[in-house]
């Protein structure tokens, strides 16, 4: 003890798990509690992130783990699984249960389940400011007495009660007495008492209280069962449990014990709400949310309004996003030159400038688009409008085996597949999400545009090219929807997943929260560009530059030296590049794979372009440029490449090529994100097989049909 006194600053560590139903303002609260996001780290689990925030308060170090919103302790959605697994298996000290003060009865349903766990709970009655506005008065002190659990009124928006919440957590963490008063109906209490008496009689050792163990046993909690099942007392306990369950089910006139318990909780919660909540002002007949909903989810106007919002978002994404693009491009060009000037070794310079900087630059180029798109999506989500979209579109999408909420990732896919895969997280159900992930690639992303522009320009006049582009995009989307239907009938066969979804109250979005979300997502994207894309760029660079052929280089060097005209020199330079590429590893791969692509009418150059395109679609154009001996400085508007293509590639082959570009894997980076979001490498191989076979088959058909027509 004396030791402690001699050291005045004793920092104790408290690990808090933040739990609540969706839409109760948990993330807002965590921001207010930690005052700023001091250290926000993203712990990307398999699919859903839990966020950890660290901060100090007086002599205590806090770690707050923000768990995904969950309605109940089931494993229906990934969020629920993440939260339940964390609460049951991880190490933490105390739970803060965030509840929406304006909707207490519903929120207490989860609270009741939390109270049967061995950890202490502190209830944060959030949105107390909103409750006040609605004329609701909650007696937090009385509620604490009734439940035996500390209840604190807080508002994440006005920051009211935040300090009180922290001090309550500290006080509760340090106090040793804790007795939850969760009272059931007489029939259930009777059975609980019997089981508790039995456990006491046999001095069963456990961390949780006997009462909670009894409740969990009666609720058919798997984990509790597993624990007791291996204990000798199980033989005697089992008949008692069976008897108890029968009694409770009889009492509730139901054959489902979980349903019976839900009803028990609901009636207990109704009792609590009736005691502690006073409604002083009569609420107006129609809330604001209902008024807005009358317009936004109107059976006739709802969908046009939504389409208008989406159109605006995409206009903004591509119009405003295009402005900084030139600057970014120029910056990377300058940066590459500047760095390149300092490196004497040719190979190293080429690796860094042409490989890494160019590759990473191509990805960073899309950051402005991605920021705008993310802001738009964050706005749609945080205002509560996203749920309305799902409501409006579910009827149409369901026909194709998709979910109403699939719409957002699919539309995002027209921009870039990476954020699209990430936004598929809004789909709560695994099967719906997987199906959506599988068809996102059908929505042609921005990176494929240059290829389309190139080919449309090569085979059609400028007045037709626009229409051709539009046709390519539309047919991609239609193919995607059809693919969804086919996948639903084959690979994802089974009962339709139910659609039960909360329509949250409309809320004004918090700028801070949106900024935070967008920032984290953008940083994640940039991190990928810095690590993964840099690696992939290096690999492609290596494959297309090695092995070196000095004989060939010297031979051409002589020829170039002896040539007189500038144009001849350039032609020879390009010839050299072509020959070098032909004998590089990439060229060897192209030659090797040529027979595979022969039925589609592709030569080895096209085959190589497709394979480098696996890294990123932007690479297809530059590869074609190099291969058709024009030097690597080729873009979609370059007329000589357009001419070379229209001269060298037969029209049917070009059609087949476009079909493959439309359907096969978007890019390596997207594939990595896909694998992470889908939750396993095996899904990547499924996607690879599915897209490759579809692309090959449809390209084969397209090639032969076009050949017959032309």
Partner 1 sequence: MKQLLDCQKGDKVKITKLNATNELKERLISFGLMKGVEVEVLEQAPRKKTIEIKIGKMRIALRAEEAKLIEVQEI
- Minimum CB separation of residue 670 from partner 1 in Å reads 31
In the block, residue with structure tokens 């394979």: 611
Instruction: Give yes or no for a contact between 649 and 657, defined as CB atoms under 8 angstroms apart.
Output: yes
Instruction: Please classify residue 212 by burial: count the beta carbons closer than 10 Å to its beta carbon, then call 0-12 exposed, 13-18 middle and 19+ buried.
Output: buried
Q: Which residues pair with 96 in a beta bridge?
A: 18, 122
- Minimum CB separation of residue 107 from partner 1 in Å reads 10
Q: Which is nearer to partner 1, 152 or 392 (CB)?
A: 392
Quote the CA–CA distance of 508 and 157 in Å, as a whole number.
Answer: 11
Q: Which is nearer to partner 1, 26 or 676 (CB)?
A: 26
- Minimum CB separation of residue 126 from partner 1 in Å reads 15
Q: Which is nearer to partner 1, 299 or 461 (CB)?
A: 299
- Minimum CB separation of residue 510 from partner 1 in Å reads 21
- Minimum CB separation of residue 401 from partner 1 in Å reads 13
Q: Which residues pair with 122 in a beta bridge?
A: 96
**Residue among 624, 664, 626 at smallest CA distance from 445:** 664
CA-to-CA dists, residue 660 to 447, 472, 533, 654, angstroms: 14, 12, 23, 10
Q: Which is nearer to partner 1, 122 or 390 (CB)?
A: 390
Q: Which is nearer to partner 1, 85 or 337 (CB)?
A: 85
Instruction: Give yes or no for a contact between 623 and 611, defined as CB atoms under 8 angstroms apart.
Output: no
Q: Which residues pair with 151 in a beta bridge?
A: 123
Q: Which is nearer to partner 1, 433 or 521 (CB)?
A: 433
- Minimum CB separation of residue 277 from partner 1 in Å reads 12
Q: Which is nearer to partner 1, 297 or 375 (CB)?
A: 297
Binding site for partner 1 (CB under 8 A): 71-72, 74, 76, 102-103, 105-106, 109, 254, 256, 258-259, 262-263, 266, 289-290, 293, 297, 299-300, 302, 387, 390-392, 394-395, 398, 404, 496, 498-504
Q: Which is nearer to partner 1, 73 or 92 (CB)?
A: 73
Instruction: Give yes or no for a contact between 56 and 8, defined as CB atoms under 8 angstroms apart.
Output: no
Q: Which is nearer to partner 1, 501 or 534 (CB)?
A: 501
**Residue among 330, 335, 319, 18 at smallest CA distance from 169:** 18
Identify each DSSP E strand in 355-417 by its residue range: none
Q: Which is nearer to partner 1, 78 or 660 (CB)?
A: 78
Which token pair is 82?
């993440």
Q: Which is nearer to partner 1, 55 or 268 (CB)?
A: 268
- Minimum CB separation of residue 290 from partner 1 in Å reads 7
User: What number of residues does the chain have?
Assistant: 710
CA dihedral angle for residue 637, residue 643, residue 644, residue 645, rounded to 10 degrees? 80
Quote the CA–CA distance of 144 and 165 in Å, as a whole number.
Answer: 13
Q: Which is nearer to partner 1, 76 or 335 (CB)?
A: 76
The CA-to-CA distance between both ends of the chain, in Å, stands at: 93
What is the Cα Rg of the chain in Å?
Answer: 31
Q: Which is nearer to partner 1, 499 or 546 (CB)?
A: 499
Alpha helices, H only, 546-584:
550-562, 566-583
- Minimum CB separation of residue 112 from partner 1 in Å reads 12
Instruction: Please classify residue 534 by burial: count the beta carbons closer than 10 Å to its beta carbon, then call 0-12 exposed, 13-18 middle and 19+ buried.
Output: middle
- Minimum CB separation of residue 127 from partner 1 in Å reads 12
- Minimum CB separation of residue 391 from partner 1 in Å reads 5
> Which helix (H) or strand (E) element contains residue 439?
helix 430-440
Q: Which is nearer to partner 1, 74 or 175 (CB)?
A: 74
- Minimum CB separation of residue 394 from partner 1 in Å reads 5
Which token pair is 443?
């929505």
- Minimum CB separation of residue 303 from partner 1 in Å reads 8
> What b/e readout covers 371-399, taking b as 16+ CB neighbours within 10 angstroms?
bbbbbbbbbbbbbbbbbbbbbbbbeebee
- Minimum CB separation of residue 302 from partner 1 in Å reads 8
Q: DSSP string of 275-297?
A: HHEEE-SPPPSS-HHHHHHHHHT
**Residue among 157, 124, 156, 159 at smallest CA distance from 140:** 124
Q: Which is nearer to partner 1, 175 or 279 (CB)?
A: 279
Quote the CA–CA distance of 138 and 275 in Å, as a whole number.
Answer: 9
Phi/psi of residue 587, nearest 5 degrees: -65, -40
In the block, residue with structure tokens 């807005």: 292
Quote the CA–CA distance of 472 and 98 in Å, as a whole number.
Answer: 48
Quote the CA–CA distance of 438 and 670 in Å, as a whole number.
Answer: 12
- Minimum CB separation of residue 680 from partner 1 in Å reads 22
Instruction: Give yes or no for a contact between 445 and 617, defined as CB atoms under 8 angstroms apart.
Output: yes
- Minimum CB separation of residue 392 from partner 1 in Å reads 6
Quote the CA–CA distance of 456 and 420 in Å, as a whole number.
Answer: 26
- Minimum CB separation of residue 261 from partner 1 in Å reads 9
* CB-CB neighbours of 415 under 10 Å: 23
Quote the CA–CA distance of 453 and 625 in Å, as a whole number.
Answer: 14
CA-to-CA dists, residue 473 to 451, 477, 637, angstroms: 12, 6, 20
Q: Which is nearer to partner 1, 496 or 635 (CB)?
A: 496
Q: Which is nearer to partner 1, 344 or 498 (CB)?
A: 498
**Residue among 381, 363, 484, 378 at smallest CA distance from 418:** 363
> Which helix (H) or strand (E) element contains residue 16?
strand 12-20
- Minimum CB separation of residue 678 from partner 1 in Å reads 22
Identify each DSSP E strand in 293-443 by its residue range: none
């Amino acid at each position: 003890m004396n030791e402690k006194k001699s050291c005045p600053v004793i920092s104790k560590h408290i690990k808090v798990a933040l739990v609540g139903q969706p839409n109760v303002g948990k993330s807002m609260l965590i921001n207010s509690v930690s005052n700023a996001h001091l250290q926000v780290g993203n712990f990307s689990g398999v699919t859903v992130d839990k966020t950890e925030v660290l901060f100090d308060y007086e002599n205590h170090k806090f770690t707050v783990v923000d768990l995904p919103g969950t309605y109940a302790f089931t494993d229906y959605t990934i969020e629920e699984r993440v939260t339940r697994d964390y609460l049951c298996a991880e190490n933490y000290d105390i739970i803060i249960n965030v509840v929406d003060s304006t909707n207490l009865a519903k929120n207490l349903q989860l609270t009741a389940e939390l109270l049967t766990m061995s950890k202490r709970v502190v209830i944060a009655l959030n949105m107390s400011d909103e409750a006040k506005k609605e004329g609701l008065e909650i007696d937090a002190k009385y509620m604490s007495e009734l439940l035996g659990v500390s209840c604190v009124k807080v508002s994440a928006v006005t920051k009211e009660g935040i300090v009180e919440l922290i001090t309550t957590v500290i006080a509760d963490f340090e106090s040793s007495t804790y007795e939850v008063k969760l009272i059931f109906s007489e029939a259930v209490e009777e059975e609980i008492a019997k089981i508790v008496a039995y456990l006491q009689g046999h001095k069963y050792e456990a961390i949780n209280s006997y009462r909670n163990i009894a409740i969990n046993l009666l609720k058919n909690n798997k984990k509790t069962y597993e624990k007791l099942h291996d204990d000798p007392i199980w033989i005697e306990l089992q008949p008692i449990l069976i008897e108890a369950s029968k009694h409770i089910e009889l009492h509730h006139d139901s054959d489902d014990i979980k349903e019976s318990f839900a009803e028990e909780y609901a009636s207990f919660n109704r009792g609590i709400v009736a005691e502690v909540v006073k409604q002083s002002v009569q609420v107006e007949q129609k809330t604001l949310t209902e008024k807005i909903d009358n317009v936004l989810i109107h059976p006739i106007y709802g969908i046009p309004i939504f389409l208008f919002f989406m159109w605006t978002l995409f206009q903004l994404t591509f119009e405003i996003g295009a402005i900084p693009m030139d600057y970014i491009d120029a910056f990377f060009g300058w940066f590459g030159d500047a760095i390149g000037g300092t490196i004497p070794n040719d190979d190293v310079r080429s690796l860094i400038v042409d490989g890494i900087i160019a590759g990473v630059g191509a990805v960073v180029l899309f950051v402005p688009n991605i920021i705008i798109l993310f802001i738009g999506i964050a706005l749609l989500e945080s205002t509560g409008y996203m749920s309305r979209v799902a409501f409006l579109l579910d009827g149409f999408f369901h026909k194709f085996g998709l979910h109403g909420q699939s719409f957002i990732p699919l539309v995002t896919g027209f921009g870039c597949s990476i954020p699209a895969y990430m936004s598929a997280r809004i789909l709560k159900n695994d099967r719906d999400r997987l199906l959506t992930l599988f068809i996102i690639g059908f929505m042609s992303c921005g990176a494929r545009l240059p290829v389309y522009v190139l080919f449309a320009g090569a085979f059609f006049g400028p007045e037709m090219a626009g229409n051709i582009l539009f046709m390519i995009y539309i047919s991609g989307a239609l193919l995607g929807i059809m693919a969804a239907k086919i996948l639903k009938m084959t690979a994802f066969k089974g009962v339709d997943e139910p659609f039960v979804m909360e329509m949250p109250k409309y809320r004004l979005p918090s700028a801070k929260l949106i900024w935070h979300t967008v920032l984290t997502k953008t940083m994640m994207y940039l991190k990928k560009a810095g690590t993964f894309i840099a690696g992939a760029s290096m690999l492609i660079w290596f494959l297309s530059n090695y092995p070196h052929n000095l004989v060939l280089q010297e031979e051409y060097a002589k020829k170039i030296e002896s040539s007189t005209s500038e144009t001849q020199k350039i032609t020879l330079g390009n010839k050299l590049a072509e020959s070098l590429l032909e004998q590089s590893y990439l060229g060897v791969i192209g030659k090797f794979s040529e027979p595979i692509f022969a039925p589609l009418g592709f030569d080895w150059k096209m085959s190589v372009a497709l394979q480098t395109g696996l890294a990123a679609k932007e690479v297809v154009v530059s590869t074609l440029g190099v291969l058709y001996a024009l030097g690597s400085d080729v873009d979609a508007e370059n007329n000589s490449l357009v001419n070379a293509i229209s001269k060298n590639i037969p029209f049917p082959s070009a059609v087949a090529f476009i079909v493959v570009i439309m359907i096969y894997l978007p890019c390596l980076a997207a594939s990595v994100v896909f694998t992470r979001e889908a939750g396993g490498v095996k899904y990547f191989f499924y996607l690879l097989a599915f897209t490759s076979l579809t692309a090959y088959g449809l390209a084969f058909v397209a090639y032969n049909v076009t050949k017959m027509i032309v």
